[in-house]
Amino acid sequence: MTPSQRQSIPLRLALYALMACTALVFLFPFLFMIASSFKTNDQIFADLESFRALLPVGPLTGQNYARAFELGNIGHYLFNSLLVTGITVSLGLLVNSLAAFALARIEWRGKQAVLTLLVILLVVPFEVISVPLMLLVASLPGLSIGAAGVQITSSWLDTLYVQIVPFIANAFSIYLFYQFFRDIPKDLDEAAYVDGATPLQVYRHVIVPSSLPVFATVTILQGLAMWNQYLWPLITVPGEAARPLMVGMEQFFGARKTAWGEVMAYATLITMPVLAAFVIFQRWFVRSVVGSGVKG
């Protein structure tokens, strides 16, 4: 070990200690949520004055989870949220990446105008268009599948696809794909075209294999946004059949005396799928953020 390497050891140890302390700060709420989900209300408040609040110690029970499934109908709401998120993200990856491919790799008239419109859409809050969008989907005929078969309905309201279709195309996802695709050398496209490839074949065999990090990033970001949807389903899904998790949680606990153990159990069940998705895709997510220069 060289003298310069030995001198850098204290600095590295201090850096690791700082990183560990920062990680603990962010872990505190998560640990508190999981530990409290196994405790009664009295036990939660009794442990607040010590580090026992972060640990699953004392009289523990799984009754909070049982009541979340029994009274909160969480199984049905969980299925709805998984279905809406899965379909929206899957279709969104295809639609948004193809749109970005056309913007980044193909020359055509009006491309700059579309890019300008895309940037404008990035700064428009969804709350601004939520009411006009609700009036639009309320006037669109839809399909209802039930015991009587497939029937035409007079509105998209109170359905699963009202939560899916408006969010498949996403300006921010298109922009992320565009930023990443633009940095891929165009020599690869030209070589493929010389071999007789079509634009779709270039997209499938050249661009997609080179862009797995940004696909993972969009999967996480769009999946998280859809999983946390609250305002839109609150105003468009009044019934229970298509209700997602977030609205279901508010409906369940809004009219009852707060049982914090049940709240923490419900919150834990909501958080786990998102955490699992991030753990699976984190390597590509970090690579994409670094490679595309995404900030914030």
Q: Alpha helix (H) ranges present in 106-230?
A: 111-122, 126-138, 171-182, 187-194, 199-202, 208-210, 212-227
According to DSSP, the residues that pair with 151 across neighbouring strands are: 144
Whole-angstrom distance, CA of residue 249 vs CA of residue 100:
36
Q: Which residues of 245-258 are buried (b: 16+ CB within 10 A; e: fewer)?
A: bbbbbeebbeeeee
Whole-angstrom distance, CA of residue 164 vs CA of residue 119:
23
Closest CA to 143 of 154, 129, 130, 131: 154
Q: How confident is the model over 186-242, as pLDDT tens digits?
A: 888 889 999 888 999 999 999 999 888 889 889 888 988 999 899 999 999 888 888
Q: How confident is the model over 61-72, as pLDDT tens digits?
A: 888 888 888 777
Query: Residue 146: is its pLDDT beyond 60?
Result: no
Whole-angstrom distance, CA of residue 215 vs CA of residue 284:
8
- Spatial CB neighbours of 152, under 8 Å, sequence gap ≥ 6: 141, 142, 143, 144
Q: How confident is the model over 157-187, as pLDDT tens digits?
A: 888 889 999 999 999 999 999 998 998 888 8
Query: Residue 294: is its pLDDT beyond 80?
Result: no
Query: Residue 25: is its pLDDT beyond 60?
Result: yes
- Quickly state the pLDDT bin for 154 (edges 50, 70, 90): low
Query: Residue 148: is its pLDDT beyond 60?
Result: no
Top-confidence residue, 56 or 288:
56
Q: Alpha helix (H) ranges present in the chain?
A: 3-36, 41-46, 63-71, 74-105, 111-122, 126-138, 171-182, 187-194, 199-202, 208-210, 212-227, 231-236, 245-254, 260-292
Give the model's pLDDT for residue 201.
93
Whole-angstrom distance, CA of residue 58 vs CA of residue 9:
41
Amino acid at site 42: D
Per the CB < 8 A criterion, the answer to whether 220 and 278 are in contact is yes
- Spatial CB neighbours of 287, under 8 Å, sequence gap ≥ 6: 213
Per the CB < 8 A criterion, the answer to whether 247 and 23 are in contact is no
Q: Which CATH number fits domain 72-125+158-292: 1.10.10.410, 1.10.3720.10, 2.60.260.20, 3.40.50.300?
A: 1.10.3720.10
Give the model's pLDDT for residue 16.
87
Query: The tokens 């940037």 sit on which residue?
Result: 119
Closest CA to 93 of 34, 167, 3, 191: 167
Closest CA to 72 of 61, 63, 59: 63
Query: Residue 261: is its pLDDT beyond 90?
Result: no
Q: Which residues of 3-28 are buried (b: 16+ CB within 10 A; e: fewer)?
A: eeeeeeeeeeeeeeeeeeeeeeeeee
Q: In the chain, which segments carry CATH 1.10.3720.10?
A: 72-125+158-292
Percentage of residues of the chain with pLDDT beyond 90 = 22
Query: Residue 255: is its pLDDT beyond 60?
Result: no
Give the model's pLDDT for residue 10.
79
> Taking each helix axis from N to C terminus, what angle separates 74-105 and 111-122, rounded to the nearest 10 degrees?
150
Give the model's pLDDT for residue 293.
45
Average pLDDT over residues 32-50: 88
Amino acid at site 252: F
Per the CB < 8 A criterion, the answer to whether 93 and 220 are in contact is no
Q: How confident is the model over 81-125, as pLDDT tens digits?
A: 999 999 999 999 999 999 999 999 988 898 899 999 998 988 888
